[in-house]
Amino acid sequence: MTAVLLAGVGMVTPVGIGVEMVNTSVQAGINRYAQTDIIGHDDDPVRMALVPQLALAETVDNQRLKGAPSTWQKRMLCLATLALTDLAERTPCLPQQPVPLFLAGPEPYISLPNIDCEFIEDLAEQSGVNIDISNCRVTNTGRAGGIQSIDTAFKYFASTGAHYALVGGVDSFYDRHVMNYLDETSRLLKNDSLDGFVPGEGAGFLLLVSPDAPEEIRQQATVCLYSPGIAHEAGHLLGKKKSRAESLAAAFTQANRATPEPVRYLYSSENGERYYAKELSVALIRNQQSMSPQYDIYRPAESFGDLGAAFGPVAVGLASVNSASDKTATLVYCSSDSSPRAALCMTSLVNMENSNTSSSSHQNDTVTDNTRKVYDRA
């Protein structure tokens, strides 16, 4: 199987809830960088991009929790519940029968409880979405995890003949232990250091449909996702080997082979650190033959900060409403702090100009006034 179809998107980021609201904010250059209550080792407040607390308030019913999540896990459960509920409300073709979820979670920088199957059980209970718990998979590899989970969905469709699968990613850097680690390793963007990043948080979910599904199901899709390219970098940021920045180029090459169309748009997981800028430069040089003569690079972290494991699904969702209707492709890639590198190409199935006009009108109406006010006040 070389391609699957995208039939639904849900997301929450520091700049909005829902793909249309987030996309509009990113296109307008809005960002949510702000000082937090976390103090760095130099006594300066740490800057982050956070989802407004009012948006998270009362998202989770404590009485219905099956497990005992930590404060950090509960915050991510709130984010995931908002995003998955957003997808369910916007996607008429979401099936009533149980659907497996392939979920990406944070990288284990330090010894903290991470995303697990118990987390998914709580997510199913809180969101009301009928998740097939027995067939779920969790990947705690950070940024690349979302596209790795899409790769898992490809294998699931090929081996089972199923019609639907959910893919998601959730992450939050808003934890004192995680932030202390990043501060001690000089990873944070500060006034006296330009080689750093602004941590963020968010969640994104995608409803994928098999190309072998009945036509009435496939008609709900607007974008085609091609088989991802997966590679592993020996000289990653969390290791001790010297970086040669070659593995992302290999992931690009694998992803580009899946479609004959040249890449017109590129969504990058770059977060401002020089390491990732060098890596992208090498990947582009070695894949020039697959790029359109003129291509655009989007770096959404400039708007909502580094989303970690949530970036892949969120970026695919944003790319789905910006995909060109001509014969070109969009490439989305994610590089983890650890070894995984992942990329995929996607193309439009419909005239996106007409689709975006009607979709924007409908979807913006679904964002409640209260939600808009929460972000306006933040």
Question: Torsions phi, psi of 245, nearest 5?
Answer: 50, 40
Can you give the pLDDT at residue 43? 76
Whole-number Å distance between alpha carbons of 48 and 188: 9
Closest CA to 174 of 204, 202, 141, 143: 202
The one-letter code for the residue type at 300 is P
**What secondary structure letter does DSSP report for 286?**
T
Which residue spans within the chain are E strands per DSSP? Answer: 3-13, 16-17, 33-39, 45-49, 101-104, 137-139, 164-172, 201-209, 223-226, 229-232, 263-267, 291-298, 329-335, 340-348
Residue pLDDT tens, the chain, 378 long: 799 999 999 999 999 999 999 999 999 999 999 988 887 777 778 889 999 999 998 899 988 888 788 999 999 999 999 999 999 999 988 999 999 999 999 999 987 778 998 999 999 999 999 999 999 999 999 999 999 999 999 999 999 999 999 999 999 999 989 999 999 999 998 877 778 999 999 999 999 999 999 998 899 898 999 999 999 999 899 988 877 778 999 999 999 999 989 999 999 999 999 999 999 999 999 999 999 999 999 999 999 999 999 999 999 999 999 887 778 999 999 999 999 999 999 999 864 333 333 334 344 444 445 555 566 655
**326 vs 1, 222, 329, 330, 349, CA distance in Å?**
24, 14, 9, 11, 10
Whole-number Å distance between alpha carbons of 298 and 300: 6
Q: Which two tokens stand for residue 306?
A: 């580094």
Can you give the pLDDT at residue 147? 98
Can you give the pLDDT at residue 308? 97
Can you give the pLDDT at residue 306? 98
Closest CA to 173 of 371, 44, 43, 14: 14
Say if CB 303 and CB 29 are below 8 A apart: yes
Rounded to the nearest angstrom, the gap between the alpha carbon of residue 165 and the centroid of all alpha carbons in its chain is 16
Q: Which two tokens stand for residue 376?
A: 């306006």
Can you give the pLDDT at residue 353? 39
Whole-number Å distance between alpha carbons of 246 and 81: 37
DSSP conformation letters of 127-153: H---B-GGG-EEE--GGGHHHHHHHHH
Which residue spans within 152-269 are E strands per DSSP? Answer: 164-172, 201-209, 223-226, 229-232, 263-267
- If DSSP codes are grouped into helix, strand and coil, which group holds residue 10? strand
Can you give the pLDDT at residue 360? 40
pTM, 2 dp = 0.91
Whole-number Å distance between alpha carbons of 80 and 338: 23
Say if CB 77 and CB 60 are below 8 A apart: yes
140: left (phi over 0), alpha (psi -120 to 50) or beta: beta
Whole-number Å distance between alpha carbons of 48 and 179: 10
Rounded to the nearest angstrom, the gap between the alpha carbon of residue 86 and the centroid of all alpha carbons in its chain is 15
Residue whose tokens read 């979910």: 205
Pair type for strands 3-13 and 201-209: antiparallel
What is the maximum span of the chain, computed from C-alpha positions, in angstroms? 60
Domain boundary assignment for the chain: 3-377
What CATH number belongs to 3-377?
A: 3.40.47.10
